[in-house]
Amino acid sequence: MYFGSGHSACPGCALPIAVKSVLNALDGKCFVVNSTGCLEIISSQYGKSAWGVPYIHSLFENAAAVAAGIDAALEVLNRKDEGHVVVFAGDGATADIGIGPLSGMFDRGHDVLYVCLDNEAYQNTGNQQSALTPPGSFTTTTPVGKLMPGKLGRKKDMISIAVAHGIPYAATASVAYPRDIIRKVKKAVEFKGPKYLQIHCPCVTGWGLDSKLVIKVAKLAIETGLYPIVEFENGKLTRVMKIKRKPVEEYLKLQRRFKHLFKHPKGEEVIKFIQSIADENAKRYGLDL
């Protein structure tokens, strides 16, 4: 058993779906480095660890660097056959505070699979915006008020940043399709060097949706073009999940974090902006069937 029940994730949390998919894909032959965040807190309390594989939590922003250290040590100790080095880090830890060490790890070419669990905000501290929070989203640091309709900025394009470092494999995935996660993980570890996998994980508590809708919402994110599922190998776009496009409103209306857009004076403008991003993604990656 690589990851156990009894962890304290919210009912319907998508993070364990992503984690078990990754661990199963590797048959548990891995070292996990986990940054501070929801996953770490729900799974690594002293005396209640949910992990069945070797695991280390250090700080919030250094998972990539700690993983680099493990990779180096395994190499010099001739123990690389023990397993793959995998990082699980949230979107805040990856795209904001940890981007320096992540860039360094990519740049030095460490043999590490870096999995970003993207629930689109600093959820563990109660839903504050991160670089991967999408526009229009309510968060407690981009709240909805008389003046502001939630976050105005875009999602940081981490895939492009990853690819720009020249790493051999970069891809997005979603808990909507665990088999796709498994396939991508198995494919990623065939490459030597840094691999980046960003998995979309809806957050019941932060996004404000019924747990029964988690998978439906995850699918809608893809089907609207807002979360393109793409795969890059050696810098080239090799695979894309094609979609029969749905308008973004279908995705937005199911989540409390976007509900204000249907009432707020600036809401219509923001929805238009969100739609334009979806259109841009579709064009850029050729998503439309």
- Nearest distance in Å: CB 218, another protein: 10
- In this structure, what token pair is assigned to residue 106? 């990519």
* Residue 17 CB partners (closer than 8 Å, separation 6+): 175, 178, 201
Is residue 70 close enough to count as binding another protein by CB under 8 A? Answer: yes
- Nearest distance in Å: CB 141, another protein: 22
- Region binding another protein by CB under 8 A among candidate stretches 55-63, 117-125, 223-231, 271-279: 55-63
Helices (H), 120-265: 158-164, 178-188, 214-223, 249-252
Is residue 226 close enough to count as binding another protein by CB under 8 A? Answer: no
> Contact 185/26 with Cβ under 8 angstroms?
yes
Q: Which of 161, 213, 237, 240 touches another protein (CB under 8 A)?
A: 213
- Nearest distance in Å: CB 239, another protein: 21
Pick from 120, 140, 137: nearest CA to 270: 137
Residues 182-211, interacting with another protein (CB under 8 A)? 204, 210-211
* CA 92 – CA 116 distance, rounded (Å): 9
* Residue 30 CB partners (closer than 8 Å, separation 6+): 23, 53, 54, 83, 84, 85, 86
- Region binding another protein by CB under 8 A among candidate stretches 99-107, 116-124, 229-237, 274-282: 99-107
* Residue 266 CB partners (closer than 8 Å, separation 6+): 148, 149
Is residue 49 close enough to count as binding another protein by CB under 8 A? Answer: yes
- Nearest distance in Å: CB 157, another protein: 21
**Structure letter (DSSP) for residue 39:** H
Is residue 82 close enough to count as binding another protein by CB under 8 A? Answer: yes
- Nearest distance in Å: CB 35, another protein: 10
Is residue 229 close enough to count as binding another protein by CB under 8 A? Answer: no
Residues 133-192, interacting with another protein (CB under 8 A)? 175, 178-179
